Amino acid sequence: MAKSKSKKIKASKELQFKVGTGKIDEKVIKDAQKALEDSKVDFAPLARPDLNKLQKAIDAAREDFSDSDAVMDSIKTPIMNLKANAGSFDYEFVSNLTGMILMFFESVDKPDKKVIQIADVLHKTILLALAYNMSGDGGKNGKILFETFEQICKKYKPST
């Protein structure tokens, strides 16, 4: 197996010039945290574009999953976005679930029908969680759903 040469990319200092350097005032951090915690913004409309992208990726993968890297990237990208944003809007259940599924996907060499089905069930589960406002840890139902996904991932065996 040939090693590919890595390419060094010089970091841009543009962001540093815009925001400056040094410590951030503790009061600013506390105020930002309080604003996040007190936010009344509904996560569902913010999640919709990523859920739509996930649905399109699943539909496309059902048609052709021969380019396994492209398929997995198209499925993982909206899931990563959902994970990142769910925690910020007190949807810990969705954040934890998507995190666990992303870890599972890292163990998948090539997607098969079962992997696509798991992604589809995840999509439907997130829709359900948003429809029923399963914020926080999702309560008893969130725990059951999370444990069920854990078992699905543990039992997965690639198609041959």
- What pLDDT does residue 55 have? 98
Q: How far apart are the first and last CA of the chain?
A: 24
Q: Which residue has 């380019």 as its token pair?
A: 67
pLDDT in tens, 25-84: 888 888 877 776 677 778 899 999 999 999 999 999 999 878 888 999 999 999 999 999
Indicate the pLDDT class of residue 146, thresholds 50, 70 and 90. very high
Q: For residues 86 and 68, what is the distance between their CA atoms, to the nearest angstrom?
A: 27
Q: Which of 151, 145, 140, 89 is nearest to 122 (CA)?
A: 145
Q: Which of 76, 97, 88, 99 is nearest to 142 (CA)?
A: 97
The pTM of the whole model exceeds 0.85: no
- Residue 93 has what DSSP assignment? H
Question: Is there a contact between 101 and 79 (Cβ–Cβ < 8 Å)?
Answer: yes
All structural domains of the chain with their residue ranges: 43-155
Indicate the pLDDT class of residue 22, thresholds 50, 70 and 90. confident
pLDDT in tens, 81-94: 999 999 888 899 99
pLDDT in tens, 118-133: 999 999 999 999 999 9
Indicate the pLDDT class of residue 114, thresholds 50, 70 and 90. very high
40 CB-contact burial (10 Å; exposed 0-12 / middle 13-18 / buried 19+): exposed
Q: Which residue has 């543009």 as its token pair?
A: 14
- What pLDDT does residue 157 have? 83
- What pLDDT does residue 3 have? 58
- Residue 136 has what DSSP assignment? T
> Thinking of the domain 43-155, which architecture would CATH place it in?
Up-down Bundle (1.20)
